[in-house]
A = this chain, B = another copy of it.
């Protein structure tokens, strides 16, 4: 069984490597975890012996299939707990992270099974991030333009079709960001513009063009 620290390293390496795609450097890990490169080198050797990562001195680390699975299980637990905190205990988005960071290390497969069931087998956490299933499978959600979403349905902003900086600046100005939740309140027939609510808080109008360039998942 992995220690809390080992789990945190794996989770970080998984994230920094874009899910295992690329190698990660010692200093990246150190910066990301607020620790020192020397400490990372030590841990990386340890994880390497356990075959959770492969490590070539001076060239960085790659996560193995085994390590990837462990990382996914920690992420699964984190996201299930976040869902619990928001949906059941009425935490707000910004309060959940630190607590979930602790809860994700509780060791009990039965607990996670039952929590998953209690929450109704959610596929995404409150930030819209997908929750890996018990086999580590992540449901790839089809991204569609916001314009195709039905009224009053929650949608999570995933990406933009047109990545021009003026568009991005406009989005951030009105409070839209990757991960934001959007619900369409009304479609204006006249010009296809939408009245939407962002993060259950802020109501704004956006044009049809904007809604066709925002890619979301349900």
Contact = CB atoms under 8 A, between A and B. Distances in A.
Contacts of A99: 106, 108, 110-111
Nearest to A102: B106
A139 B98 CA distance: 32
A121 to B, nearest CB: 14
* Copies of this chain: 2
Contacts of A95: 110
Interface residues of A, number: 19
Interface in A4-61: none
A8 to B, nearest CB: 16
Interface of A: 85, 88-91, 95, 98-99, 102-103, 106-108, 110-111, 114-115, 117-118
Shortest beta-carbon contacts, A-B, top 4 = A89-B114, A99-B108, A102-B106, A99-B111
